[in-house]
Chains A and B, each alone.
Chain A
């Protein structure tokens, strides 16, 4: 009789515990994460710093005891090997069963390829760097989250900064790389500019080929046209070459340059980037971030990064920090909310919805459509002599909420509905430097 009773109690306890047991997971030996990044090719100017940063950040987490006692283990896939190799590597990594979370990618094209793949493979994927705004505007995803902004707030913030600091310009020319980003970013920029300042005249549009070694002809023509403002959303070697050649030939003295990605080239450009040109950072990313530079965690990381690489941190480092901060925050939130040792995949996905986390910049929140809301920092170049390269002054940080396309709308349509009043109504924090 007694044994019967014990059996029943045990059975009842097990039955009661079952739903819990089914939804929680066993604590793994390590949390394995895969990250796609450019280790080869022109975009390795972003990919290599991001990898270095990710390694430091993961070491730091593990030195602190990992996430709920579980150490993090990160491995990398080279995006430079081409889309074919990338997708098969991604698939292999996920299907081998060793990876719980993926982080992809830098290239917008790769994001568009990998987002549906992550959905198919049912692996949580943090889109950590790519710019395309189309991902969540054209599709719904359950497994894909973005831990940063996208091209729309980045371009919109640039237009706003330009209109706030140089309201009276009349003519603009553009020199962008001839690929998806160069074309798309100009579409958003032009649409926003035309909406908020319809009287601006676009005097020239150049799309030199990606990786072009020579902009001499474009520069000659720009000197003949003398536009008030010259926009270039180029990056890496292309941006360096363009600014250096323009600087050599005095074009920086006659036109104001607007360079939304120049933060990542500041150190390499040295003295070539003279004072008075608008510098952007694809978010609130700057090694002298005015809100964060006095914080201990920020200073410690900047020192670690400089010791490891000999360079200053650039925006992909910040983007990597955001993805890793989101990863840690999501696991901790899922563990706490469910009262488990280790969350199941569903619990993790639930935790990522509406998650707020902080990397090296300000706090970022993931919106209901899985898009991250990130603030945008821009400034004007200045050569102070403190560094052998240009730094920023008159910094403004725009509130990401107001610049991100509302859920369910298409960026180009939404940006086209803005008007001149938007320039004065946006929330912005200003800093001298």
Chain B
């Protein structure tokens, strides 16, 4: 393997990791704060993608410039967060926080199944493809290999901005500190006047927006079709579990490991590329069952 091939595999891995990280970020945030593993996160990802494709298609048909696709991604992500994430937490999850984890998992899984069918009802089973946003940015050539600027530059950039932004938000803003405090000890936070319900709702909506944003950002690069949410939730769960549940920096590092592992596998031994994320997960969890960055949790009772 020469340097050029090494760099090519590196670029591919980073681009892939960026997308996985954005989705995993929302999942791990929700888990870190609310201790709920939200399987429906995969549906929010898929709906974010579908919404972007529909909105972009609609506005481009009205004669808007293709560059308009970028704000529409954010609009879709926010819509997913507020219209689906909000009611989901407020009407459903709120009732089951004190129930057993198995029940919580089953409830979010049920929501996932329902939303899968909703997608099929609304968008049908036909694959959609809408890549205006990607085409606007054009291509970049490296060692005679053409990449899209969207995947090579924009996606990793957004991932880094989100990572730094999330760190700053949680550590240096009042709302972020409230979230961190509630995560640390919900009862103590409530006793000093933190409205934990509000914090949970807010966190869940942010997490849902991130899922939607992941879908929106993925939409120009791939076919939008039924089942895309299931694949993503499995992969991002692998990232979150490997990193340690609730670990944001860990999720970034793990996404990168999985992305690079997968792309190097395609260059060196394509047959195992599918296996790589889970191989990494198993190896890490064998050595550190709490995840790369996780700390062994003491049971409260």
Known: A213-B231, A217-B267. A240 touches B223 (CB 8 A): yes
Known: A220-B11, A224-B5. A211 touches B227 (CB 8 A): yes
> Cβ of B146 and Cβ of A250 under 8 Å apart?
yes
Q: Is B226 positioned at the interface, with any CB of A under 8 Å from its CB?
A: yes
Q: Closest A-chain residue to B152, C-beta based?
A: A216
Complex Cα distance, B84 from A236, in Å, reads 29
Known: A213-B222, A216-B12, A224-B144. A44 touches B134 (CB 8 A): no
- By a CB distance below 8 angstroms, the chain A residues around B54 are none
Q: Is B8 positioned at the interface, with any CB of A under 8 Å from its CB?
A: yes
Complex Cα distance, B121 from A40, in Å, reads 11
> Cβ of B125 and Cβ of A268 under 8 Å apart?
no
Q: Closest A-chain residue to B266, C-beta based?
A: A217
- By a CB distance below 8 angstroms, the chain B residues around A109 are none
Known: A217-B262, A250-B139. A42 touches B227 (CB 8 A): yes
> Cβ of B148 and Cβ of A249 under 8 Å apart?
yes
Complex Cα distance, B176 from A397, in Å, reads 67
Report how many residues on chain A are interfacial, defined by Cβ distance under 8 Å.
39
Contact of A45 among B13, B127, B134, B148 (CB under 8 A): B127
Known: A45-B125, A217-B267, A236-B127. A40 touches B12 (CB 8 A): no
> Cβ of A45 and Cβ of B274 under 8 Å apart?
no
> Cβ of A244 and Cβ of B131 under 8 Å apart?
yes
Chain B 209-227 interface 0/1 with A at a Cβ cutoff of 8 Å (1 = within): 0000000001001110111
Q: Is A30 positioned at the interface, with any CB of B under 8 Å from its CB?
A: no
- By a CB distance below 8 angstroms, the chain A residues around B151 are 216
Report how many residues on chain B are interfacial, defined by Cβ distance under 8 Å.
45
Q: Is A276 positioned at the interface, with any CB of B under 8 Å from its CB?
A: no
Q: Is A206 positioned at the interface, with any CB of B under 8 Å from its CB?
A: yes
Q: Is B15 positioned at the interface, with any CB of A under 8 Å from its CB?
A: yes
> Cβ of B125 and Cβ of A40 under 8 Å apart?
yes
> Cβ of A244 and Cβ of B274 under 8 Å apart?
no
Contact of A220 among B8, B227, B270 (CB under 8 A): B8
Q: Is B120 positioned at the interface, with any CB of A under 8 Å from its CB?
A: yes
Contact of A208 among B15, B127, B147, B274 (CB under 8 A): B274
Chain B 145-189 interface 0/1 with A at a Cβ cutoff of 8 Å (1 = within): 111100100000000000000000000000000000000000000
Q: Closest Cβ of chain B: how far from A229's Cβ, in Å?
A: 18
Q: Closest Cβ of chain A: how far from B175's Cβ, in Å?
A: 33
> Cβ of A44 and Cβ of B267 under 8 Å apart?
no
- By a CB distance below 8 angstroms, the chain B residues around A268 are 126-127, 129
> Cβ of A217 and Cβ of B274 under 8 Å apart?
no
Complex Cα distance, B134 from A250, in Å, reads 14
Complex Cα distance, B124 from A48, in Å, reads 10
> Cβ of B127 and Cβ of A248 under 8 Å apart?
no
> Cβ of A214 and Cβ of B127 under 8 Å apart?
no
- By a CB distance below 8 angstroms, the chain B residues around A221 are 8, 266-267
Q: Closest Cβ of chain B: how far from A345's Cβ, in Å?
A: 35
Chain B 112-133 interface 0/1 with A at a Cβ cutoff of 8 Å (1 = within): 0000000010001111010100
Q: Is A218 positioned at the interface, with any CB of B under 8 Å from its CB?
A: yes
Complex Cα distance, B134 from A410, in Å, reads 47
Interface hits, B178-212 → A, CB 8 Å: none
- By a CB distance below 8 angstroms, the chain A residues around B134 are 248
Q: Is B228 positioned at the interface, with any CB of A under 8 Å from its CB?
A: yes
Q: Is A91 positioned at the interface, with any CB of B under 8 Å from its CB?
A: no
Of listed B8, B228, B266, B267, residue having the most chain A CB within 10 A: B266
Known: A206-B266, A217-B263, A268-B126. A178 touches B131 (CB 8 A): no
> Cβ of A207 and Cβ of B223 under 8 Å apart?
no
Q: Is B16 positioned at the interface, with any CB of A under 8 Å from its CB?
A: yes
Q: Is A388 positioned at the interface, with any CB of B under 8 Å from its CB?
A: no
> Cβ of B131 and Cβ of A248 under 8 Å apart?
yes
Known: A205-B270, A224-B145. A213 touches B226 (CB 8 A): no
Q: Is B98 positioned at the interface, with any CB of A under 8 Å from its CB?
A: no
Complex Cα distance, B18 from A180, in Å, reads 32
Q: Closest Cβ of chain A: how far from B298's Cβ, in Å?
A: 39
Interface residues of chain B, those whose CB is within 8 Å of chain A, are 4-5, 8-9, 11-13, 15-16, 19, 120, 124-127, 129, 131, 134-135, 139, 143-148, 151, 218, 221-223, 225-228, 231-232, 262-263, 266-267, 270-271, 273-274
A45-B127, A217-B273, A269-B129 given; name 13 further pairs at CB < 8 Å: A207-B270, A207-B271, A211-B231, A213-B221, A216-B12, A217-B9, A217-B262, A220-B12, A220-B145, A223-B145, A224-B5, A237-B223, A240-B127
